[in-house]
Amino acid sequence: MLQLFLKEIKMKEDKKIDYDGLPYWIMEYCAKNQKSGKLTCALYTDDFQYSDWQKILPQEWIDDAIKNGDVNMALEKYFNVMGNLELLFSELCYFHIDNSGSFPEQILYIRLKTEDVIEMHYLVGQGSEFYITLTEEVNNLPFIIDWNDAVNLTKLTTFEQAKWYYEKMLSIANTQQKEFLLRNKDKIFFLLGLSVIRYGFVERINLNKLEEALIWENVFPN
C-alpha cells in the first residue's frame, strides 16, 4: 500500500502541464463564443480534422500557423491543448458524473474564473470522444469544481482528494446537511474509500443524496 501511495505521488510530480495556460484559455474561448453564437458546436476531438476546423479554431492560431508556413500547425496545437484538458479530466476521475445511455459517458463540471460552467464529456462508443461545452443549466448539478480547485486536485493523491471532497461538501452544506456529514463522517469516508473499486466520490454520495447514499450502500438500514 505504501509503495502504491509513493508511486502515485511520483507520477503526479512528473507531470508538468501548465493547465492555467492554453487549456484554461480554450475553455474561456469555448464559453465566450458559444454565448455569443459565434461557436455553434462543442469543442471536440474525434474526427475534428475532418470538420471545417479553420472556422472553429481561434483566428490568431490560424494566422500564426500560416505565418510559420503550415496552417495544420494550428490543428496540431488544438489537439495538444485538448489532450491536456483530457488529462486533467482523467486526473479528476473520482469527481465524474455518470451520464451513460446507449454508450458509457462521464461528465465533469468546471466553474471558470468568469463564473461560466464548462462541462467536459468523455463518451465511449465505436471509438472514444472527448469534448467540452458550456453548461446552460447549472441548478441542481451534483457537483461543480472551481477551476483553481481542479488544478490543485490534480496534484493530490486519491486519499487527499477524498478528504478535500468531504471538506468541500461540509463547507457548502446547509445546517441540516452539515449535521448529517459530521455525525456520519466515518461512514461517509468508508463510501469514499469504495470509490477506488467502482463509481466515484460524487456518484456515491453528494449533497443531493446523503442519507439515500448510505442506505443504498447498506451502510444505513432501510
| pLDDT score of 10 | 44
pLDDT band, very low/low/confident/very high, at 221 (cuts 50, 70, 90): low
pLDDT of residue 219: 60
Mean pLDDT within 183-190: 93
Alpha carbon 59 to its chain's center: 27
Same domain, 12 and 119: yes
Domain span at residue 211 reads 157-216
What CA dihedral angle connects 24, 26, 32 and 38, to 10 degrees? Answer: 180
User: Chain-wide mean pLDDT for the chain?
Assistant: 89
> Which among 193, 97, 208, 176 is positioned nearest to 217, based on CA atoms?
193
Residues 114 and 66 in one domain: yes
- 24 CB-near residues (< 8 Å, 6+ apart): 112, 147
Question: Higher confidence at residue 220 or residue 2?
Answer: 220
- Whole-structure pTM value: 0.88
Total domain count, the chain: 2
Q: What is the pLDDT of residues 11-25, one digit of tens each?
A: 544 557 899 999 999
User: Are residue 167 and residue 201 in the same domain, yes or no?
Assistant: yes
